[in-house]
Structure 1
């Protein structure tokens, strides 16, 4: 009996001991759950305060370097992927046709300048002739008036016998002759006046030649193509001797004065992103370097890709999951403060983290002030 009691007491003790050893094993699970919740809260808080995306790439503005005049390249001063400074010589087009055009225009102007004084002398002579013709008209007019007055006085005297019929006929003849001379003088005066020219047309032609000289000088300057800004030459696929046409790019020049990171953020994150928001970016080519930047602008349109056609000219951002609704992404343009020219290349993959809390703090301090 005592042995049975002893066994029973031992069994009870063992069960109590086993339950005591099993109870502490629930704590790791509870701790794991708590840590998971804390991590989830921290992740949500971080997303809300520092939106982040690895759907980003480096970007810079580019131009196609096109000559303003056509011709054969006689000097190519750059090579592919070369860095250039503003004002550096890029290439030179054969300047001889434009030099000849300039010389021809200058020679035409010199010839015209010599012709204008000669023409002016002729105009002066014509003017003097017209003046003399007008004086002749005045004399003929006076003679005709005198002959008419004489005839008018003699006609009443014929009946009284003071003048003869012959005298009256000579007076009429003199009047007719004076009127004829007057008509001839007036015709000569009109002819002389019509012959008077001017140098106005030549002066106007001189202005045209001056404009041609200016155009020729400009074309001669255009034959030398220089870098409009600090940049880097890319897509250079030509050499000396190549004929290039005006307005057609010879190569591309990257504007390295400003580098950007184009970061595509989900549409539900745009509400807390504003121009001026500070950002931290780094490139996948060297993840150890961090660069600061500022949001320059936020995209206001992308290609919706809903099957109803494309929005021409809008950036296209792919959606990777077709059977669920995926938040659209919009490009956010971030201006990098101090880019490393060795690392930044157009299209380099990047990661962008926006420090929206800094923008909010600055805005709040500005509102309080």
Structure 2
């Protein structure tokens, strides 16, 4: 009798443990796969590429790498003699064209008295364009990252786009950090490059070979607007894990052990 009871108890405990393990694994799997997510995400920012209108030697540098700059701040100065020479040449051209335009005005006035309307503004327009071009010869030869324009670009597989809509909330976890940043889906890219749509040098279609039972999902860029700018904590180009939580934020403080474990497993794919 004792042996039978012991066997029943062992069997019951084993069955209960198996059921609990199954439930835990199932809940972790649902948590892991229910929300669209990706580890292929990048912090990005609006980058302004600027180039000089006038070439020349740099005589003075007023900034250093990764320094925060403001509007109208002088970054560096182009060699003044060369700049002044170019400006003087342009001013001389403007004076010439202004004189030529005045002559055209006088000539047009004479023709107007004869009943002929003839006056060309090409020369004066050209002179004005030259003046405007030279007056705005600023020393611009660096790339600037605009402050407070950081966002996250998440590359989600096409199979997960069903649960992604503009306005949906998102959780961003920078790689190597336990901090979670909140954001909102701003937009979804309208298209991605189709490698099979290109043609070779003979105009023939170039179609990539694939296996019928293996189909790789395309990744679509999804832009996520951050709720709060993070400064330079995570520079543009660094990676992060993104989870789309739907129309509302998820209360991560109420997550159980298995949900937290699944959250960390996302870091490893």
Class of the TM-score when normalised by the shorter of the 2 chains: 0.5 to 0.7
Counterpart contact for 1:105–1:209, Cα < 8 Å: no
CA distance in structure 2 between the partners assigned to 1:269 and 1:116 by the alignment: 68
Residues 164-243 of structure 1 correspond to what in structure 2 (within 5 A)? 208-209=123-124, 211-212=126-127, 214-225=128-139
CA distance in structure 1 between the partners assigned to 2:41 and 2:26 by the alignment: 26
CA distance in structure 1 between the partners assigned to 2:5 and 2:227 by the alignment: 63
How far the C-alpha of 1:96 sits from its partner, in A, is: 0.8
In the alignment, does 2:167 pair up with 1:276?
Answer: yes
Q: What's the TM-score, normalizing by structure 2?
A: 0.67
In the alignment, does 2:7 pair up with 1:22?
Answer: yes
How far the C-alpha of 1:31 sits from its partner, in A, is: 2.3
How far the C-alpha of 1:290 sits from its partner, in A, is: 2.3
CA RMSD of the aligned region, Å? 3.9
How far the C-alpha of 1:83 sits from its partner, in A, is: 2.2
| Residue from 72, 90, 96 that aligns with 2:84 | 96
The aligned counterpart of 1:343 is 233
Q: Deviations over 1:54-74 (max 9, x none)?
A: 222212232431122333333
How far the C-alpha of 1:356 sits from its partner, in A, is: 0.9
Q: Match of 1:89, SS?
A: coil
CA distance in structure 1 between the partners assigned to 2:12 and 2:101 by the alignment: 107
How far the C-alpha of 1:224 sits from its partner, in A, is: 1.6
CA distance in structure 2 between the partners assigned to 1:25 and 1:34 by the alignment: 14
The aligned counterpart of 2:50 is 65
In the alignment, does 2:71 pair up with 1:77?
Answer: no
Q: What's the TM-score, normalizing by structure 1?
A: 0.51
How far the C-alpha of 1:256 sits from its partner, in A, is: 3.5
CA distance in structure 2 between the partners assigned to 1:264 and 1:299 by the alignment: 10
Q: Match of 1:30, SS?
A: helix
Q: 1:26 to 1:304 in 2, by over 3 A?
A: farther
CA distance in structure 2 between the partners assigned to 1:291 and 1:46 by the alignment: 19
Q: 1:23 to 1:42 in 2, by over 3 A?
A: same
Higher helix share: 1
CA distance in structure 1 between the partners assigned to 2:153 and 2:21 by the alignment: 33
Counterpart contact for 2:151–2:223, Cα < 8 Å: yes
How far the C-alpha of 1:223 sits from its partner, in A, is: 1.9
Q: 1:89 to 1:108 in 2, by over 3 A?
A: same
Q: Deviations over 1:298-338 (max 9, x none)?
A: 23444566xx5769xxxxxxxxxx98444443222212222
Query: Which structure is larger by alpha-carbon Rg, 1 or 2?
Result: 1
Counterpart contact for 1:69–1:223, Cα < 8 Å: yes
In the alignment, does 2:148 pair up with 1:257?
Answer: yes
The aligned counterpart of 1:174 is none
How far the C-alpha of 1:38 sits from its partner, in A, is: 2.2
Corresponding pairs, count: 230
How far the C-alpha of 1:209 sits from its partner, in A, is: 4.4
Q: Which runs of 5+ in 2 are unaligned?
A: 200-211, 250-269
